Chains A and B, each alone.
Chain A
Amino acid sequence: MAETVIKLGRKEKPSTFIDKVKQILPEGGNLNACLTCGACSSGCPATGLADMDPRKFLRMAALGMDEEIAASDWPWMCTMCMRCIYVCPMKIDIPQLVFNARTLRPREERPRGILGSCDMALKNETTSAMGTNAEDFEFVVGDVLEEYQENQPEFADMEAPIDKEGAEFFLNQNSREPNTEPDEMVPLWKILHLVGANWTYGSKGWAGENYCMFLADDESWKKVTKTSADQANTLGVKTFLNTE
């Protein structure tokens, strides 16, 4: 055993990015527990993109390379699919490290596509990232439903209600169908009808997509989710059915 303690690195270590993330994760996300085995990287489809991989990313964070992490586009190429933590023998929460790394850039400098979709969702109580308002949604749903009730008489009693109080299920809906391929909404309506499900969409918060979450904008993410949850609660719905 050495007689004196060997000290590595700077004398006074400033609080680094990894320290901040450790503070908000249960058990610190085990971020100190890496054995550098590389199981994460060998099974990660994002390995090699932007000259990065999960193990390297964690090592850089552990070494306090905060500026390099903030400059890397890799956190936007990781889908946070959690395959790395699934195979990790130490259960290190790399996906949360990646998610929080997205916040190292000012909001306005994050990828424009995600930013724009989040901002659009915030502008409307429908939370639609495509900007579809309640009136347009109601029109499309009603129009498509009427067409199928007439053309397929076996489904004359089929419903696609909006704001039905006391329904069992609150169903959300990706904006893409009502906007670009409305007929694609119908198969799910038919299945719900045949099994006798008592369900409803909400005039507020019906849109299932949540780009504010991908943007790592916690406040906006919460606002979008809360809009849907509040509407489900207002209607007295028992179960939130997420199709996303």
Chain B
Amino acid sequence: MNSDWNKDLKIKFTVQDPCQIVRKSYGDPIADDLRFVVKSIVGEENFIDMQPNRSNNYCCGGGGGFLQSGFKDERLTYGKIKDDQIQATGADYCIAGCHNCHAQIHELSEHYGGNYGVVHLWTLICLSLGILGPNEREYLGEDLQEVNVFHPETAM
């Protein structure tokens, strides 16, 4: 696994610390593990941490059932802090390892106009390994649709 695919592209990434596995379970050590993986696949120079981070990071606002509770305006207001953190990094993508975070941050990106992408970690691991096909790129933007494509002839 390496970051050669991004050596010239220099696409920038940040990462959300999922409350469940970081603050609520394994703490900073797993947040460091997460960063080790992210830096390995996107390149250390292309990773920009949001502030604050690790155990001190903010919840995105998608957890605890908030996504389905019906309080949409409040949920977006809650997420303003997260959106500000991400936009301050200037990253093109936010990596979200948690399903709730993924949905919430995706909506924040559209609502506040940051227009950064939100991707699952496994998508980028496969991209880096050169085994990500053309139909597994739902959450990748235009900039990554043609990069390191596995079996491009199978595009649907």
Query: Does B12 interact with chain A (Cβ within 8 Å)?
Result: no
B70 neighbours in A (Cβ, 8 Å): 111-113
Known contacts being A112-B70, A152-B154, A244-B99, is A45 close to B131, with CB within 8 Å?
Answer: no
A46 neighbours in B (Cβ, 8 Å): 78
User: Roughly how many angstroms separate A175 CA and B144 CA in the complex, as a whole number?
Assistant: 26
Cβ-defined contact, A114 with B98, below 8 A: no
Query: Does A78 interact with chain B (Cβ within 8 Å)?
Result: yes
Contact of A151 among B132, B133, B138 (CB under 8 A): B133
Scoring B residues 53 to 71 as 1 if CB is less than 8 Å from chain A, else 0, what string do you get? Answer: 0011011011111101111
Give residues 88-116 of A contacting B (CB, 8 Å). Answer: 111-114
User: Roughly how many angstroms separate A111 CA and B69 CA in the complex, as a whole number?
Assistant: 5
Known contacts being A183-B138, A186-B136, A188-B122, is A114 close to B68, with CB within 8 Å?
Answer: yes
Query: Does A211 interact with chain B (Cβ within 8 Å)?
Result: yes
Q: Which residue of A lies closest to B73 (CB)?
A: A49
The count of A-to-B residue pairs whose CB atoms sit within 8 angstroms is: 120
A60 neighbours in B (Cβ, 8 Å): none
Give residues 14-68 of B contacting A (CB, 8 Å). Answer: 19-20, 23-24, 55-56, 58-59, 61-66, 68
Cβ-defined contact, A113 with B68, below 8 A: yes
A208 neighbours in B (Cβ, 8 Å): 99
Query: Does B106 interact with chain A (Cβ within 8 Å)?
Result: no
User: Roughly how many angstroms separate A80 CA and B24 CA in the complex, as a whole number?
Assistant: 10
Cβ-defined contact, B125 with A187, below 8 A: yes
B135 neighbours in A (Cβ, 8 Å): 183
Cβ-defined contact, B63 with A187, below 8 A: no
User: Roughly how many angstroms separate A155 CA and B123 CA in the complex, as a whole number?
Assistant: 16
Scoring B residues 112 to 150 as 1 if CB is less than 8 Å from chain A, else 0, what string do you get? Answer: 000000001011011001011101101100000000001
Cβ-defined contact, A191 with B126, below 8 A: yes
Cβ-defined contact, A77 with B138, below 8 A: no
Cβ-defined contact, B69 with A187, below 8 A: no
Scoring A residues 29 to 69 as 1 if CB is less than 8 Å from chain B, else 0, what string do you get? Answer: 00000000000000101101110000000000000000000
Query: Does A218 interact with chain B (Cβ within 8 Å)?
Result: no
User: Roughly how many angstroms separate A194 CA and B128 CA in the complex, as a whole number?
Assistant: 14
Cβ-defined contact, A45 with B82, below 8 A: yes
Q: Which of A48, A83, A148 has the most CB of B within 10 A?
A: A83
Task: Show 20 residue pairs from A and B whose CB-CB distance is below 8 angstroms, ordered by the A residue.
Answer: A45-B58, A45-B78, A45-B79, A79-B59, A79-B66, A80-B64, A81-B19, A83-B58, A113-B69, A114-B69, A151-B133, A151-B151, A152-B154, A181-B138, A183-B135, A183-B138, A184-B136, A190-B131, A191-B126, A214-B68
Top 6 A-B pairs, shortest CB-CB distance: A214-B65, A81-B59, A113-B68, A79-B64, A79-B63, A187-B122
